Structure 1
Amino acid sequence: MSLCSCRNFPTPFLWFPLLLVLLTNASADGVKQKNFYIVFLGDLAGSRDIALDTHLNILSTVKGSILEAKESMVYSYTKSFNAFAAKLSKDEAKNLSAMDEVVSVIPNQYRKLHTTRSWDFIGLPLTAKRKLKSESDIIVALLDTGVTPQLQSFKDDGFGPPPAKWKGTCDKYANFSGCNNKLIGARYFKIGGRPDPSDILSPIDVVGHGTHTASTAAGTVVPDASLFGIAKGTARGAVPSARLAVYKVCWASDDCADMDILAAFEAAIHDGVDVISISIGGGNPNYVQDSIGIGSFHAMRKGIVTVASAGNDGPFMATVTNTAPWIVTVAASAIDRDFRSTIQLGNGKNFSGGGLTTFNPKQKQYPLVNGTDAARNSGSKENARFCYEDSLDPTKVKGKLVYCSLSGWGSESVVKGIGGIGTIMESDQAFEIAQIFMAPATIVNSSIGQIIINYTHSTRSPSAVIHKTHEVKIPAPFTASFSSRGPNPASKHILKPDVTAPGLNILASYTPMRSITGEKGDTQFSEFTLMSGTSMACPHVSGVAAYVKSFHPNWSPAAIRSAIITTAKPMSQRINKEAEFAYGGGQVNPTRAVNPGLVYEMDDFAYVQFLCHEGYNGSTLSVLVGSPVNCTSLLPGLGHDALNYPSMQLSVENNSGTTVGVFRRRVTNVGPAPTIFNATIKSPKGVEITVKPASLIFSHTLQKKSFKVVVKAKSMASMKIVSGSLIWRSTRYIVRSPIVIYSP
């Protein structure tokens, strides 16, 4: 088993248009000063370059020159509106406001900061309705790399003693300060796995992964959290008042042994937790041979919801992991925030680059050299172009920025190691993850790269500066390219992943025992950092499951999963071409999940019946239920027909004529009664979908009603995916079930 997150792994995606933001000598700290103003002009006219020139010309009228205007201006807004931000005196602001071209001039203000964005983005603000007493009785378990107990995210100010149901323990270990009324349990499990010199046999987190996921799921509220001022906001989990129990099963070597995982599941079930969050994957697709599948089945039988990450092997198809139907499987998506760094050349031109640099420049400009021009006399210019180890002449690099072609991470550490300042890296492979650099660095495409190379050869003293990274707004959500896709390799009848949640560039707590890049020589340590992966998406949904359970303590894991899937926000197949195989039911919607209207219930017998129909041998099922199962005595029918799953999936063989799928389902009314739900069907081209009956009439709460969905699909090309849906509507509720038809 391995961790399902990799904070800084490269992964291809579609480049967003580069945002040309002017950020000159003003640092992120400098922008806090009160003498910054935003100057609004009229409607946008002409190109963005023309608008930028207009901004500089207007600003130069009060600054005296274009050069001084460039030094004063920090932003040029040319996309949606026509404005710029600049450092001004009161008199300069007054003079600008008197100009005919200027609509208004307002002082820069600092409003109340909200989270690292992910919780607000998916609709769970701090002001969301809560049942605090019930929430404080919820225990969220994390099976991960441990935890850092002394951090602010795990403080217990205002917390009472642990719930009476808690049976767990927390002993003191090496480098581990112990638990409190927030972090009520911490244990470690290490029998398997490779040794690593940085490992400590205690629940302490030396990797940072577990600390990050735990704080995302249920961390307390921490104002003014950031990564050196980047992504600043209020860090928190979905359920800040809930308790945390941490079970360390993964180690610095990235090993997460099955036997350790099962031991942790067993302990968590015994200890009385309500939700298990496990951002680990790579197991056996056979449900009865997978430690997570087995452990989570036993948890389900005790009323515990297990939420797991889908894996980071996208965008390749059929790579999704943790596919057992009793698990909530989570894909990763983006929020509406990205990170860019502005490069300013000595000739005044500015460009936007990717990646994340936390460093404020100490000079206005640094000498700039192309890697090929800094090659060792006896070395290969081709190796120097990529800034490989031992390819550059230290005397030609010292004190300079170096332009390198990108073949992998680490060129900034090579340059820094021989006295350079940092690197500008060229790559036409796009990176949606904000790669954190250990020295000033950024990534540009080859078009911008050629301009920079031409500039270095056009002057005797080329120079440049890379400014500290800033945030930009982007369209979202979309599924991260690294997020593993369906179809489900373990069962062609069950749609996986179930839902998607924020997992790209998520800010949360981190360990002080490891630098933020983990690279040798990195001197950056922070209480918070950005990480990406389905590992980061998983605790978002774990937190939502805990949030739902705080309102409905007696709901089963199936009911909670159903509420999360059927209330998810649909996403665009135009943006995510793998459709539901990328995002499942859609983006998780916490406040709607609390009040779903209808739920698809299941007990453990339904899962066993499903497994029998899927071809599992009755004797092998004893690993789940404790004794052999007589599958021949179970009702006949298709496996997917036996399982009351909220989503429906039909596999259509190529050149097979018409395929017919029959899905029998039963819903429970969890809203007020009497009420009527009417069916709305969305059928893709070439597919006929019918539902009988078309209306469900409920006379009382918790009443159950059955219906049948028939899907008729014509033969389609291999690996084609088409999407439909069944929506049950009442005057108060919309209950949506995705219907996926595909050809393997």
Structure 2
Amino acid sequence: MAISLLSLIFPLLTLTPNASAYYQPDNLKPKTNTPSSSSYIIHTDNLTRPSIFPTQSHWYSSILKSAVANQTYDQDRIFYTYDTIMHGFAATLTPDEARKVSSTPGVIGVYNDSIFELHTTRSPNFLGLNLGDGLWTDKFDAGDNVVIGLVDTGIWPEEPSFDDAGLPPIPPEWRGECEIRDRFNISACNKKLIGARFFRSGARARGLSFDDGSEFMSPRDKDGHGTHTASTAAGSAVANANLFGFANGTARGVATRARLAMYKACWGFYGCPVSDIVAAINAAVKDGVHILSLSLGGGPEEFYADAVAIAAFAAVRNGVFVAFSAGNSGPDEGYVVNIAPWITTVGAGSIDRKFPARVTLGNGEVYVGQSLYQQSPNFTGFAPLVYVPQCLMSDSEITQLVKEKILMCENAFVELGMKVAKARGVGLIGLNDNYSGEGVIVKAFTLPGLTLGYFEAQKLIKYINSTSNPRASLQFDYQTVIGESRAPTVAYFSARGPNIIQPEILKPDILAPGMNILASWPTETPLTGSLKDLRRAGFNIISGTSMSCPHIAGVAALLKAEHPNWSPAMIRSAMMTTAFPLDNSYRPIFLDESLKPANALAIGAGHVDPVRAKNPGLVYDLGVQDYINLLCTMNYTEAQIKRFMPEPSACSKFEGGVGDLNYPSFVAIFDAETKARTLTRTLTKVSELPETYEARVVNPRPDKVEVVVEPKTLEFGGQGENLSYKVRFVSKVDEISYTEVEREYGYIMWENTEHQVKSPVVFMWK
């Protein structure tokens, strides 16, 4: 599983993807109807419903009764029915009952109702979205008929980011609703926030009643995550937005005039039950959203066993563009989640904004870190340094160690700073570890505190070990510095490929801003996730692939407004083939953890460039049948494919294997038997005038792989024309060394004077 948003606010990072994602305090133990019961999603084939049952509900009740014949039947066990993205229901069952249900005629899938975790402004300008340029017009009217739906923790509707001034009436085809419940009345929705609903039956089935007031039983956001992602995707322009004076300026979402619909299915620290996520997607598609953004995820599973992937497939089948976050389990490879090829998977990068603070050592050396500490320190001179490798200390240990000293430790968090201040410590220096590298998640410490990147942290440790009287002084510039650092870099937490379910499909697809992002925040929610932190504000700066996902959703909304007839695959292709693999200094994008060049397993096609994506020239399109053919090529059974396509459908296998899917990227895998691969792609012309494109291969290791494109020239006439080409990859490696020759990557480009259509290529040796 990916780490949670709270783990990024308090980065005691545990990079263990298989760890449990669900925490239950003693006072919230599950209340179950039968011994050892849990909740399941039962997927049915509606075409096989016996005629004796007049409605689906009658049929579902019969299915359930057949499984609990020896016990008292309870209709309340069914807590959801699904009727748009799939047919079926969610219910509480014991494992034995679930097995019985799975063998019932008409049941095509039974999925465990697991918990997904949340993957927790300058960024539009960093993306090149400037007033009067590209996708943002002079009147700022781009996207006002596009609806972005978010499945998240809810929304705080009073924030100015959700003001609807100047927006035209709600599109008449909108079918959604504003659910009026706990502190959420009819005035909460407007022409910006046109829909708001919440889904808690899956959480309740796990015993989470939230009767203690820890959550709102309405679409209102208690956690903050949903408010932040919603304003990032489509927040209205807000002048003088900042956090404690930092990052001051006009904050706006990527698609400033797009409409928002919030589907609350996540409950902060407790996560997001799959049954609630599926119910939210079902409602969103039914309501008429055009874009879906989900900054959450669970462990990767085979597509046919992943209820959320199946629901996302149905959304795409209905023309909805679906973006998911890649997860926060970087920097190790192979932990990327949300890897189905019909969704767009988003990694996180930095932007060119820093919040500098300095450490001056007793020997005169000065190191620069980052901090959101906004007060004038009571103590400004030199103080003794005390170093503890890990920040996990008891209160008594802190009291003994830090009085009138500056504490330094790895991955310091805000609540630790509160304890240091209480123990009369004078400062806190957080040190990035080797996993974090130079990726500093900036923190709003309550005492003089800052965070140093790994390389300077090592120099500081070396200093403290070199003298019997280590001392330091902390200085705070209270500034926001823009444009002086290389960006983007790949955030150290951003999950990397390869795709462990289907490595011939490159994931993540693309990179977007996800490090230290300013966006709206509920004014009743702690800024740092700690209930001991009494500070409140209408904006907050947080990090995660959760923050990068709504950037891509916003770009997709702008492209949908510009090209309303484009399919979800065309929108993704436009972003991927125009993405930038270089940073703002025109050098390769670096990895935070090592300052070495990133490969496609970290950045996908590169960093999104919305202005170039508006006019890509050519796109790689995909339809439902292409995805069905992919599943067929993966040797899915007819019963497994039926979970994605309830109507009868033929399928044929790709000649070149899974890698033949018409995706905007290539992965060529070699092993002892496979020395050559030939993959086929088809390009669709979306520009208006006739054009000729020439193929160019960027292959940094021609000694390892030969790449040949045929034909080398494509001549397109009218808009909508399709032309195909083949790429032959031949491995020249005789002996495979895992450490030396496991990964290489380059690009295949089709270009002319007007357009460059670029696809990343990854070469992998087993």
TM-score (norm 2): 0.76
| Counterpart selection for 2:459 from 435, 447, 456 | 447
Q: What residue is the counterpart of 2:745 in the other structure?
A: 723
Q: 1:450 to 1:283 in 2, by over 3 A?
A: closer
Q: 1:393 to 1:613 in 2, by over 3 A?
A: closer
Q: What residue is the counterpart of 2:509 in the other structure?
A: 498
| Counterpart selection for 1:219 from 214, 226, 235 | 235
**1:690 and 2:696 matched:** no
| Counterpart selection for 1:357 from 366, 372, 390 | 372
**1:162 and 2:166 matched:** no
Q: C-alpha distance in 2, partners of 1:205/1:262?
A: 19
Deviation at 1:419, TM superposition (A): 4.5
Q: What residue is the counterpart of 2:358 in the other structure?
A: 342
SS in 2 for 1:706: strand
**1:471 and 2:480 matched:** yes
Q: 1:171 to 1:289 in 2, by over 3 A?
A: same
Letter in 2 for 1:584: G
Q: What residue is the counterpart of 1:402 in the other structure?
A: 406
Q: What residue is the counterpart of 1:529 in the other structure?
A: 540
Letter in 2 for 1:391: E
| Counterpart selection for 1:438 from 435, 446, 457 | 446
**1:187 and 2:182 matched:** no
1:62-211 matched pairs, under 5 angstroms = 116-129=121-134, 130=136, 135-177=143-185, 178-193=188-203, 195=208, 197=212, 198-211=214-227
Q: Deviations over 1:234-290 (max 9, x none)?
A: 211111111000111110233111110100111110111110011111144211222
**1:237 and 2:237 matched:** no
Contact 1:640 1:663 in 2 (8 A): no
Deviation at 1:192, TM superposition (A): 2.3
Q: Deviations over 1:203-246 (max 9, x none)?
A: 11111111111111111111211110112222111111110001
Q: What residue is the counterpart of 2:267 in the other structure?
A: 251
SS in 1 for 2:397: coil
SS in 2 for 1:358: coil
Q: What residue is the counterpart of 1:602 in the other structure?
A: 622
Q: 1:348 to 1:255 in 2, by over 3 A?
A: same
**1:589 and 2:609 matched:** yes
Q: C-alpha distance in 1, partners of 2:505/2:656?
A: 12
Contact 1:619 1:627 in 2 (8 A): no
Q: What residue is the counterpart of 1:423 in the other structure?
A: 428
Deviation at 1:578, TM superposition (A): 5.1
Q: Deviations over 1:583-622 (max 9, x none)?
A: 0000101011111000111110110011110121121121
Deviation at 1:435, TM superposition (A): 3.3
Deviation at 1:383, TM superposition (A): 10
Contact 1:265 1:295 in 2 (8 A): yes
Larger gyration radius, structure 1 or structure 2: 1
Deviation at 1:384, TM superposition (A): 12
Percent of residue pairs identical = 36
| Counterpart selection for 1:299 from 315, 339, 350 | 315
Q: What residue is the counterpart of 2:720 in the other structure?
A: 702
Contact 1:387 1:414 in 2 (8 A): no
**1:516 and 2:527 matched:** yes
Q: C-alpha distance in 1, partners of 2:379/2:653?
A: 76
Deviation at 1:128, TM superposition (A): 2.2
Q: What residue is the counterpart of 2:635 in the other structure?
A: 615
Letter in 1 for 2:476: H
Unaligned stretches of 5+ in structure 2? 14-120, 583-587
Q: C-alpha distance in 1, partners of 2:696/2:431?
A: 50
Q: 1:168 to 1:425 in 2, by over 3 A?
A: closer
Q: C-alpha distance in 1, partners of 2:450/2:691?
A: 57
Deviation at 1:453, TM superposition (A): 8.8
Deviates more, 1:433-442 or 1:484-493: 433-442
Q: 1:385 to 1:296 in 2, by over 3 A?
A: closer
1:268-347 matched pairs, under 5 angstroms = 268-343=284-359
Deviates more, 1:480-489 or 1:122-131: 122-131
Q: What residue is the counterpart of 1:60 in the other structure?
A: none
Q: C-alpha distance in 1, partners of 2:609/2:472?
A: 48
Q: What residue is the counterpart of 1:18 in the other structure?
A: none
Deviation at 1:148, TM superposition (A): 0.8
Q: 1:541 to 1:283 in 2, by over 3 A?
A: same
Q: 1:636 to 1:397 in 2, by over 3 A?
A: closer
SS in 2 for 1:558: helix
Deviation at 1:342, TM superposition (A): 2.5
| Counterpart selection for 1:662 from 663, 666, 678 | 678
Contact 1:308 1:329 in 2 (8 A): yes
Contact 1:368 1:403 in 2 (8 A): no
Deviation at 1:295, TM superposition (A): 1.6
Deviation at 1:426, TM superposition (A): 5.5
Deviation at 1:520, TM superposition (A): 3.6
Deviation at 1:562, TM superposition (A): 0.8
**1:713 and 2:731 matched:** yes
Q: C-alpha distance in 2, partners of 1:190/1:350?
A: 54
SS in 1 for 2:631: helix
Contact 1:148 1:205 in 2 (8 A): yes
**1:390 and 2:396 matched:** yes
Contact 2:432 2:440 in 1 (8 A): no
Letter in 1 for 2:636: Y
SS in 1 for 2:355: strand
**1:412 and 2:417 matched:** yes
SS in 1 for 2:675: strand
Cα RMSD for the two superposed structures: 2.8
Letter in 2 for 1:187: R
Letter in 1 for 2:190: N
Deviation at 1:301, TM superposition (A): 1.0
Unaligned stretches of 5+ in structure 1? 13-115, 373-381
Q: C-alpha distance in 1, partners of 2:422/2:506?
A: 49
Q: C-alpha distance in 2, partners of 1:290/1:592?
A: 34
**1:10 and 2:26 matched:** no
Q: What residue is the counterpart of 1:624 in the other structure?
A: 644
Q: 1:306 to 1:405 in 2, by over 3 A?
A: closer
Q: Deviations over 1:95-133 (max 9, x none)?
A: xxxxxxxxxxxxxxxxxxxxx222222211233244655
SS in 2 for 1:298: helix
Contact 1:569 1:586 in 2 (8 A): yes
SS in 2 for 1:697: strand
Q: C-alpha distance in 1, partners of 2:301/2:9?
A: 27
